[in-house]
Amino acid sequence: MNEKFSLEEKIISVLKNIYDPEIPVDIYELGLIYDIQISSEKEVKIVMTLTTPNCPVVDSLPLEIKNKVKSLKEIKNVDVILTFDPPWSREFMSEEARLELGLL
């Protein structure tokens, strides 16, 4: 259990180094990551969204996430599932992200 938690922490750390190209906040604090699932076989499933369905990085961002998370040596495979249900809204942003963008 402890090992799984630290692997999730490592994944979150990777995600916090990936930025939305239009907003100067990382995708994790922005609330674009809905779920991170790690199987006992170290296969990762990330459910995410984008700020809008016609976001210019609709093709590249999920691929960047997959490649960067997969670069963690413990991980065997990464699936990134893109969803727009529920649609992203500012409420999903962390307090830190809202503060940085002057929304608080």
The pLDDT tens digits for 60-90 are: 999 999 999 999 999 999 999 999 999 999 9
Q: What angle separates helix 2-15 from helix 60-70, to the nearest 10 degrees?
A: 140
Predicted confidence at residue 89, as pLDDT, reads 93
Domains and CATH numbers, the chain: 2-97 (3.30.300.130)
Q: What's this model's pTM, rounded to 2 decimal places?
A: 0.91
Position 7, amino acid: L
**E strand intervals along 23-71:** 33-38, 43-48
- Please tell me the distance from the alpha carbon of residue 38 to that of residue 52, in angstroms, as a whole number: 27
Return the percentage of the chain with pLDDT > 90, whole number: 77
Predicted confidence at residue 56, as pLDDT, reads 85
